[in-house]
Amino acid sequence: MSERILVIRFSSLGDVVLTEPVFRALKQKYLQAQIALATKKEYAGVFEGYSNIDRLFNLDGGLEKLAREIRAFKPDLIVDLHRNFRSRRLAGQFPEARKLTYAKARWERFLKVLTKTRRPVAHTMERYLKTVEAVGSVAFPQLNASTSKDHRRWVGPAGFTVGFGLGAKWEAKLWPVGHFSQLAELLSKSFPVGRFILFGSEEEYELGNEFKKKFSGSSPAVMVFGQPLERAKNCLSKLDLLVSNDSGLMHLGAACGVPTLGLFGPTHPVLGFAPLGEKSKALSLDLYCSPCSLHGKLPCFRSRRFCLEDLTPEKVFEEARAVLKSVKPKPVLEPVPAVFMDRDGVVIRERNFDYTPDNIEILPGAPGAIRRLKEAGFKIVIVSNQSGVGRGFLTVEGVEAVHSAVQEKLKKEGAEIDRFYFCPHWSDGAVEKFRKECVCRKPETGMPELADLELGIDFSRSFVVGDRVTDLELGWKKGMRSILVLTGQGKRAQEELAEKRDDSAIVKGNVLEAAEHILGMKMEV
């Protein structure tokens, strides 16, 4: 009887998601076993808070480093669900362990591309389960967002929340953005849609911008681009329907229990990658030329992409309508007030792009301000422009490490931030990936809108506390009260307001005084 089981699947997102049933099956079969997963660091968030995995090993620093870490785990059974050179090499480091290896059926799938026959290959999930001799034991992948500690009551939402997965790994797999915007308009006319949620990677950000330019409906569109997987998973869990290109996000949404419509063009459901779920479905025109490649990597050989361009918004709408008619909008947490705080110069001392976990300094009064506001029922959210990432002075990982250090220091003083959000973009930056116009750089409202999706915010009872005019403008744009503090860049901002003869801002000496002012208003929270 195995006691320590290692499962290997390094990538990609959809393949990692589809391993989930294997862990449930192994837990049922080996009740006392410790089960671990070896995967790339970027995909570890898929299993955040997941109880059937006892240990995560990240491929982050080379195979030898990973093998050393796993050696202390002492696996006696290794399940290789990747079956490539690296996974075989890793498994070979443990000759004493029993090995089970996934049958990829690559040649069988390649024949489908060549012959276009429609008898489907066994689904990837089924082949994973066959590897551990557990076929039929589990119906669908199941992943839940992290359990909230919030004790608020649930209330009826303003309408349906519909998500669009605008991106995909390969350009040939993209349903036209114009089709997505037309679908949104059709849905808005037929159903009470509270908001649309747009998903994609940082590299796909322009797809979101294009959607917002094309969409003429009144429902707001919230962009979830370039976010950590844990956050993307949490946002997906809020959806009543997801319409997505054939992508890892499609599988993640379906695994989160969201009715998912997957759009297939150059790929095809017969290859074994359809979304799995009670109300999930793969949509395809089933053209004679499809599938034209295993993963949709090759450019279309025809005059245009008939497989996706002719999959019209009207056709997808009919499928979406059937789903929305069969479900009720998910309840949401009753909205609460929040205090949105700038980070640098408000909570920590400003250091002009020189931030590390070791040199940050919490400003006097900040822990007390945060603690008292939370005790009064406010959510505390950091919203920070970090153009140093786009300029090339900082990295996303570095900013996240600083946030972890800030949280750790605050917790030692009885305070805690509910969410950290930051904008890494700079329109003239040195890093091409972050050189763009965005909806998150303050005073744009992308960060508060994302916080509302995750936390449920009543903006009419909320505040912004910052040391720059852009912080104040952010609050005013969202109907919040804005407070300028004179720490950081606050005095310069005060002078700027004076030049404009703008006396609409509340001015306080620091974040503690700002908190006292908020609490003194005795607002119902």
Question: What is the set of active-site residues?
Answer: 342, 344
DSSP string, 252-271: HHHHTT--EEEEESSS-GGG
CA–CA distance, 347 with 405 (Å, rounded to integer): 13
* Among 270, 266, 311, CA closest to 171: 266
CA–CA distance, 142 with 47 (Å, rounded to integer): 10
Directed axis angle between helix 229-236 and helix 446-455, to 10°? 60
In this structure, the chain runs to a length of 525
Distances (CA, A) of 7 to 100, 129, 413: 9, 12, 40
CA–CA distance, 417 with 511 (Å, rounded to integer): 14
3-state SS string for 298-315? CCCCCCCCHHHHCCCHHH
| Helix/strand/coil for 374 | helix
Distances (CA, A) of 40 to 9, 50, 101, 330, 412: 8, 17, 19, 33, 32
Write out the two tokens for 221: 């569109």
Residue 289 CB contacts under 8 Å (≥ 6 apart), including other chains: 116, 301, 302, 306, 307
CA–CA distance, 5 with 54 (Å, rounded to integer): 10
